[in-house]
Amino acid sequence: MDYVDQVLSQLKEKNASEPEFIQAATEVLNTLRPVIAQHPEYQKAKLLERLIEPERIITFRVPWIDDKGEIQVNRGFRVQFNSAIGPYKGGLRFHPTVNQGILKFLGFEQIFKNSLTGLPIGGGKGGSDFDPKGKSDAEIMRFCQSFMTELFKYVGADEDVPAGDIGVGGREIGFLYGQYKRLTGLYEGVLTGKGLTYGGSLTRTEATGFGLVYITNEALKAHGKSFEGKRVVISGSGNVAIYAAEKATALGATVVAMCDSNGYIYDANGVNLPVIHDIKEVRRARIKEYIKEVPSAEYHEGCSGIWTIPCDIALPCATQNEINEDSAKKLIENGCWLLAEGANMPSTLEAQEVYKKAGIIFLPAKAANAGGVGVSALEMSQNSLRLSWTFEEVDARLQGIMKSIFANISAAAKEYGENEDDYVTGANVAGFLKVATAMMAQGIV
């Protein structure tokens, strides 16, 4: 058995109850084979065994009191996966499906994504099985305060810097930050995605969605194409989806469908983004409400139907494994020729096989959604410098980051991939090499 197979078999045995983590690590390790073959010293240093084991996982109790006066207990986590190239950095997810395996998959992906940004940040992820849906602002605040009362012991501006993810937006980051400051007396950049009046960066809210469209635009240009006149399907209607839709529309595309976890809307004329913004960001209501405002549009219950809508470009921006083999086949049958992942691991391994066989342009999450963490790192820089850059300045840096990621994954695809458009191998290898070199230099730690 060669070295990668040995590590894969150990991975499956040791993490049997964590299918998402096994899925993410298997995809990465399989594409690293050519690099591992060139570096026999990695095996001697047990580099892959160390890479797949988080440096530390913190699990804690989060008790809080709801509006009826009843005591609720949730579970909190922080996975500090790898700090070879910088302090741990990665979002917090509040969603009932959160468990250790999901956070390990997200933290593992984050290591390579953060490396690809070219900025000095390690990989981490955290969150809770708390469900923010239907909770009052006061309940959200009490939960966030209780969560931070435990987490503050393990995070810090030079140690571990969490941000948002599913269920954690500006409101939650504000409550978490307030409690951190109260507990530590420190006014420091311990969280990113902060409000603009207390250390946040312009463009952070838009960064993941805009970055996704910027890198997709680079891939389009490399293939002699553009967004102009293209039909785009975007899943989700949260932070990533909304700003991806905004930027794709600005570049001349028509976004024909979006969804939430209940169902999807189809609007052949192009989704009306101010209406979506009002429903999802202001009123925190369901996307179904869209057809009340735009009666010519359609609403369908269930999410997977969104992948049957004919489109040129698909941007999955909701959650992991939202596109399975069947959905991938439907997308391609209906004309999709480019798919870029805004969400983390939205495509199953089987779906990725379908893309590969069909030869569509495929930009994996690690590269495609790295704009969010890229601007988070710029927020850290601004906090350290005690400066605020303008929207244009941060947006220009974001564009630079996404351009450089595309150039790096293309170069690695040419050198190590199955073909020059093999951006999956390109992203994994380019992200891995920097981390591997740093780990080798730092001894057995």
List the catalytic residues: 125
Nearer to ligand NDP, 309 or 343 (CB): 343
What are phi and psi for residue 68, nearest 5 degrees? Answer: -85, 0
- Minimum distance between the CB of residue 66 and ligand NDP, rounded to whole angstroms? 20
3-state secondary structure of 301: strand
303 contacts ligand NDP (rule: CB under 6 A): yes
Exactly one of 149, 319, 327, 347 binds ligand NDP (CB under 6 A); that residue is: 319
Note whether 10 and 46 are within 8 A (CB).
no
Q: Give the residue, chosen from 342, 374, 426, 431, that forms a contact with ligand NDP under the rule CB under 6 A.
A: 342
**By rule CB under 6 A, what string of x and - marks binding of each residue 207-226 to ligand NDP?**
-x------------------
* Binding to ligand NDP in span 57-96, by CB under 6 A: none
Q: Residue 126 region, left (φ>0) first, then alpha (ψ -120 to 50), else beta?
A: beta
Q: How many residues bind ligand NDP (CB under 6 A)?
A: 26
Q: Is 428 a binder of ligand NDP (CB under 6 A)?
A: no
3-state secondary structure of 389: coil
The CB density around residue 159, as the number of other CB atoms within 10 Å, is 12
Query: Which of 85, 103, 256, 317 is close enough to bind ligand NDP by CB under 6 A?
Result: 317
Cα 253 to Cα 275: distance, rounded to the nearest angstrom:
18
On whether the CB atoms of residues 366 and 109 are closer than 8 A, the answer is yes
Smallest gap from residue 165 Cβ to ligand NDP (A):
5
Is residue 238 a contact point for ligand NDP (CB under 6 A)? Answer: yes
Strand partners, 91: 163
What is the smallest separation between the CB atom of 303 and ligand NDP, expressed in angstroms?
Answer: 4
Out of 86, 167, 189, 200, which residue is the one contacting ligand NDP (CB under 6 A)? 167
Contact stretch for ligand NDP (CB under 6 A) within 47-55, 161-169, 270-278, 413-421: 161-169
Q: Are 154 and 83 in contact (CB under 8 A)?
A: no
- Beta carbon nearer to ligand NDP, 32 or 303: 303
On the CB side of 200, CA atoms within 13 Å amount to 21
Q: Considering beta carbons, is residue 167 or 417 the nearer one to ligand NDP?
A: 167
Which helix (H) or strand (E) element contains residue 335? none
Q: What is the DSSP letter of 289?
A: G
Report the alpha-carbon distance of residue 12 to residue 33 in Å, rounded. 18
Could you tell me the CA-to-CA distances from 58 to 87, 126, 163, 283 in Å, in that order? 16, 9, 17, 34
When asked if residue 236 is in the footprint of ligand NDP (CB under 6 A), the reply is yes
Q: How far is the CB of 208 from ligand NDP (least distance, A)?
A: 4
**Quick one: tokens of 167?**
């269920």
* Listed ranges 43-51, 141-149, 258-266, 381-389: which one lies at the site for ligand NDP (CB under 6 A): 258-266
Stretch that binds ligand NDP, among 40-48, 338-346, 356-364, 416-424 (CB under 6 A): 338-346
372 binds ligand NDP (CB under 6 A): yes
Whichever of 98 and 241 has its CB closer to ligand NDP, that residue is 241
Kindly state the smallest distance separating residue 128's Cβ from ligand NDP, in Å. Answer: 14
Pseudo-torsion of CA 164, 424, 241, 247, nearest 10°?
110
319 and 303 Cβ atoms separated by less than 8 Å: no
d(CA 363, CA 315): 10
Contacting residues toward ligand NDP, per CB under 6 A? 164-167, 169, 208, 236-241, 259-262, 303, 317-319, 322, 342-344, 369, 372
